[in-house]
Structure 1
Amino acid sequence: MQFQYANYSSPRYKATGKGSLRLLLINQRSDFSFALFSGGLSKPKLVAVSNKVTFANPNAPLYPRLAQGKTWNEMTVTWTSGYGISSAEPFIEWGQKGDVRVRSPAGTLTIDRSSMCGPPARTVGWRDPGFIHTSFLKELWPNTVYTYKLGHKLFNGTYIWSPEYQFKASPYPGQDSVQRVVIFGDMGKDEPDGSNVYNNYQHGALNTTKQLIDDLKNIDIVFHIGDIVYANGYISQWDQFTAQVAPITSKVPYMVASGNHERDWPGSGSFYGTKDSGGECGVMAETMFYVPAENRAKFWYSTDYGMFRFCVADTEHDWREGTEQYEFIERCFASADRRKQPWLIFIAHRVLGYSSASWYGAQGSFEEPMGRESLQKLWQKYKVDIAFYGHVHNYERTCPIYQNICLDKEKHNYKGPFNGTIHVVAGGGGSGLADFTPLNTTWSLFKDHDYGFTKLTAFDHSNLLFEYKKSSDGKVYDSFTINRDYRDILACSVDNCSPTTLAS
């Protein structure tokens, strides 16, 4: 449900009793009606209800969401419809642009109330999410443009089709070409018609979405690193979000990470016992978006894109030394072929590195407890270039740092051998902004209390550009470059080469 006050676009409504409103409706597999209430929110009284508004096909396939598969030359397409396996066969019709098309089948999942862990997801927030379909497009040719359509073959022999979309297949691992990656967290959704909904506090979301859509020709892959929708148990908001980002997700891979607002629920196996997921306990995120994890209930995974290796952690599960996730993180770092993938990137939702957020400052830790203490030796040993986090709703960048010590006095142009990992908080995607501590954090080089997102551009195996852009205007407000060749990656710095002896 969404609402507007009757005087939203008609200021004299109270005096004249006349006015008009414009409300945006998205297809959510059912009819809509408009209701007029008097008495305000405190004492609402139903005055009138409109006739039903019906979509031409409420079950139509909608909101395609691309994601990297488990191999570099596989793309997955996930979408939502009202067709279950008892009424239609889902598939993708696809092929190289201008060439013969083939059809690939899709699997189908759905969710019921019992899948949820608690209220409101099981009670007032419950809404049938429809059917979620995923198809796997395999053996793609690198850098090739493919077109695709979502299809459903009804059992009476007729076909239901979506519009046609297109994407560009990933580059071959190690390919030397310009590759552009956008990373941000904590965006959520907002209503373009100005109406009000539950959890109405992600007012930067539409600006961030617009900037990405406007610059999509210069973006190859997107990472939304947790706190995706902020549905918090109100399931209909997943449709609202996937509709909002569909112009992006239908064209480039949209990789997600798990955040507290997707996963956390007491007694559900999450590392934190909060109720931040509103009873969803990860089920919606694991179903609505595909990630190439071995087990999507454990939301950690790796993915390669050209010259990049991304190691994506799940901060809502234990990451400490000796855990299954810690072992995954080390394997992900250790298996990166730095000759092919020189740019090694760590991604997590909660800040496992460094943040000047007021609540971290009050604790005196500037991190999640046991965050960097558990992982900093891995970042240093395997020479992780940049670590990205969300959770804190602002932007911040550190110096190359290890054990709280800046290892390089340079601020914008890093050259030669690796010194330490640069840590970036990119949690200003759209949700209400977070304050910084007044304490002087000497390792913090740039802070911004505003909405924005980050972008990496790899020009080749030796040159990487980092940019921070504001969502309000899309302009660059912070940047740095890394210039480093393969010999530099092999070189030793603090604690990242194995000690040797005469015997060895």
Structure 2
Amino acid sequence: MTEKFKVIMAKKEEAAAKCNDMKEEKKAYGVDMFMDDGRFWLYPHISVPFILTSIFMSKFVSGSCPNPRRHPTEPLLCTAPIKYQYANFSANYLYWGKGTIQFQLINQRSDFSFALFTGGLENPKLVGLTKLSPFKNPKAPVFPRLAQGKTHDEMAVTWTSGYDVGDAYPFVEWGMVTSGTGAGNPTRSPAGTLTFNRGSMCGAPARTIGWRDPGFIHTAFMRGLWPNKEYFYKIGHELPDGTVVWGKPYTFRAPPTPGQSSLQRVIVFGDMGKAERDGSNEYANYQPGSLNTTDALVRDLDNFDMVFHIGDLPYANGYISQWDQFTAQVAPISARKPYMIASGNHERDWPDTGGFFDVEDSGGECGVLAETMYYYPAENRANFWYKVDYGMFRFCVADSEHDWREGTPQYKFIEECLSTVDRKHQPWLIFAAHRVLGYSSNSWYADQGSFEEPEGRESLQKLWQRHRVDIAFFGHVHNYERTCPLYQSQCVTSERSNYSGTMNGTIVVVGGGGASHLNGYTSAVPKWSVFRDRDYGFTKLTAFNHSSLLFEYKRSSDGKVYDNFTIHRDYRDVLGCVHDSCFPTTLAT
């Protein structure tokens, strides 16, 4: 649910003459904040660096709070705005003494107010503040996000609301779409409820100026699904008087059974982030390709079945309200398709919190937001690794922000995930994680004298080779790159796009969907680098059957294919065996 607010600014001396006209304009445009009380008048003769209009939730504190870790785009305020715009968004506003700014707001379970500041980001001074503007039905259930459960016949749906379990009973109503009659007899499944408080955050800004109440996060499970059947669902909350507050209705298609032969299409990308459609700025506002990627996927919604977003989700970096913005942005996708996630440095990393990297990239979130806002089928939600069986695919999703070297719990999980797949029925074995284990010719890695993150590559490469991993996907680096099938830095074939026969190496793919900025490459192209593209995009896997797989890389700006390859082979080519002598899984047996 979104609402548009139009902010009108004018010189005070024009107010009397223009008041009636502006009130009519308020009616015509649905203006919620009409500043005709003298507090928001802009005087053209006042010299200021710039004036900005910001939106805040309730309990706004206008004082300055210096932050030594502050990003240059972050105003020094004790209460972080939801978003802000410069007043000169309206051309010649100082000359004419008036201007108009439009904001698009989403339901974040709170009233809003508009504030006007002078002094710029470095020295913001409050000029005026509107009264609180209530949002229509602020507690309503919003932003549904599907995820495949621990078994193929289970679909989880997670959503956000303002209702605690004592206020209303959360549930999902669902059923199979039957031919001729539409929706069948519905079932109601109860939802569990989670939330967290400021004390759950590990540091600033998440615990200080970036804190926002996250509301309540509900997850319900739809079980016993028939493979490839279409289902309807609708999230809701039953109030004590028996009335129900409903979310919007949606449909989804149930996953195929493991090994089932049917057309199966999966999207994979990392580092998408989020952006504001109304042109607003926000804290950590630096994901320019995010909307392109989101919109490209929405346009193509009928042509894929599942999404893997492998880390660096909203880049909230401790500004909690941006998680609402992100879940709202991807809701047109996640409400219809399973939206599977992985942990990235901007979700998890914070010193002395049990992660592998002792850095502050999460802005104090230390994994709490990602673990709560989305469901994923891990055995332990604090351990962000899990497997997904989707028809002919087996996905082994790892957590690069925890140690995965030999002997660790995660290493044992990865080995089990790779070794237990039946390659006769699930021939396409995919590994995915956030940080690049290798290989990337990103210029930053080259400056460090490497083509990878520093730990764990050798131990996992042994697993890839032993269990014949087809493709390893990574994010983190903000460009696209694909390697040849390789092992220990050596290409095992000279072929670049049509692979067939014996499987001896793993193809590594690196790519970000929206990212904060685009990374450059080394001037020298490594022998294993087959294709590079310094742009935003996403990848798509299409399994036609047990012996044919198509890989495509598309730019999100135009949706066109810029790189692709095919794999054609029999499961015996994977296992290196002859008829009637193949093991049921991999060579590890």
- Normalising by structure 1, report the TM-score: 0.96
Distance 2:588 2:168 in 1: 62
Correspondent of 2:194 among 109, 118, 123: 109
CA RMSD in angstroms comes to: 1.6
Per-residue deviation, residues 188-232 of structure 1 (Å, max 9, x unmatched) = 110000000000110110000000000010010000000011111
Q: What amino acid is the match of 1:78?
A: T
Q: Is the 8 A contact 1:292 1:301 kept in 2?
A: yes
- Partner of 2:522: helix, strand, or coil? coil
* 1:15 and 2:95 matched: yes
- Equivalenced residue count is 497
Distance 1:128 1:42 in 2: 26
Shift of 1:499: 11
Shift of 1:12: 1.6
* 1:202 and 2:287 matched: yes
Shift of 1:116: 1.0
Q: What amino acid is the match of 2:96?
A: T
- Partner of 2:482: helix, strand, or coil? strand
- Partner of 1:64: helix, strand, or coil? strand
Correspondent of 1:73 among 136, 146, 153: 153
Per-residue deviation, residues 163-187 of structure 1 (Å, max 9, x unmatched) = 1111110011111111100000001
Distance 2:106 2:588 in 1: 61
Shift of 1:439: 3.2
Per-residue deviation, residues 280-336 of structure 1 (Å, max 9, x unmatched) = 110100000001000011100000111100000000000001111111001000001
Larger relative contact order (CA 8 Å, sep ≥ 6): 1
Shift of 1:419: 1.9
Correspondent of 1:63 among 128, 143, 155: 143
Correspondent of 1:168 among 235, 253, 261: 253
Q: Is the 8 A contact 2:485 2:505 kept in 1?
A: yes
Q: Is the 8 A contact 1:258 1:316 kept in 2?
A: yes
Correspondent of 2:167 among 87, 93, 96: 87
Distance 1:498 1:179 in 2: 26
Q: What amino acid is the match of 2:524?
A: L
Correspondent of 1:445 among 526, 530, 534: 530
Correspondent of 1:279 among 364, 375, 379: 364
Indicate the residue corresponding to 1:220 in structure 2.
Answer: 305
Per-residue deviation, residues 358-408 of structure 1 (Å, max 9, x unmatched) = 121122221111332111111011110000000001100000000111001
Q: Is the 8 A contact 2:500 2:568 kept in 1?
A: yes
| Greater C-alpha radius of gyration | 2
Per-residue deviation, residues 431-473 of structure 1 (Å, max 9, x unmatched) = 2111212233111011111111100000111100000000110
Q: Is the 8 A contact 2:443 2:521 kept in 1?
A: yes
Q: What amino acid is the match of 2:94?
A: K
Distance 1:45 1:265 in 2: 32
Shift of 1:42: 3.7
Written as runs of structure 1 = structure 2, the 5 A alignment for 1:321-470 is 321-470=406-555
Distance 2:376 2:290 in 1: 22
Written as runs of structure 1 = structure 2, the 5 A alignment for 1:187-336 is 187-336=272-421
Shift of 1:497: 8.4
Indicate the residue corresponding to 1:96 in structure 2.
Answer: 176
Q: What amino acid is the match of 2:129?
A: V
Shift of 1:157: 2.1
Shift of 1:160: 0.7
Shift of 1:266: 0.5
- Partner of 1:243: helix, strand, or coil? helix
Indicate the residue corresponding to 1:33 in structure 2.
Answer: 113
Q: What amino acid is the match of 2:88?
A: N
Q: Is the 8 A contact 1:429 1:453 kept in 2?
A: no
Distance 1:420 1:404 in 2: 10
Shift of 1:45: 3.2
Q: Is the 8 A contact 1:392 1:428 kept in 2?
A: no
Q: Is the 8 A contact 2:85 2:281 kept in 1?
A: yes
Change (3 A) 1:83 1:42: same
- Partner of 1:167: helix, strand, or coil? strand
Indicate the residue corresponding to 2:55 in structure 1.
Answer: none
Distance 1:362 1:103 in 2: 56
Distance 1:384 1:185 in 2: 20
Correspondent of 1:52 among 115, 132, 152: 132
Distance 1:42 1:406 in 2: 52
Distance 2:417 2:366 in 1: 26
Indicate the residue corresponding to 1:5 in structure 2.
Answer: 86
Distance 1:126 1:248 in 2: 27
Q: What amino acid is the match of 1:192?
A: R
Indicate the residue corresponding to 1:491 in structure 2.
Answer: 576
Distance 1:376 1:274 in 2: 26
Distance 1:259 1:112 in 2: 22
Gaps spanning 5+ residues in structure 2: where? 1-80, 178-182, 578-584
Q: Is the 8 A contact 1:205 1:431 kept in 2?
A: no
- Partner of 2:100: helix, strand, or coil? coil
Q: Structure 1 vs Structure 2: percent identity of aligned residues?
A: 67
Distance 1:299 1:384 in 2: 20
Q: Is the 8 A contact 1:186 1:227 kept in 2?
A: yes
Change (3 A) 1:52 1:159: same
Distance 1:182 1:311 in 2: 15
Distance 2:188 2:319 in 1: 35
- Partner of 1:242: helix, strand, or coil? helix
Shift of 1:429: 3.1
Per-residue deviation, residues 455-494 of structure 1 (Å, max 9, x unmatched) = 00001111000000001100000000000112212217xx
Q: Is the 8 A contact 1:206 1:430 kept in 2?
A: no
Shift of 1:44: 3.1
Greater shift after overlay, 438-447 or 100-109? 438-447
Q: Is the 8 A contact 1:413 1:481 kept in 2?
A: yes
- Partner of 1:119: helix, strand, or coil? coil
- Partner of 1:223: helix, strand, or coil? strand
Q: What amino acid is the match of 2:186?
A: R
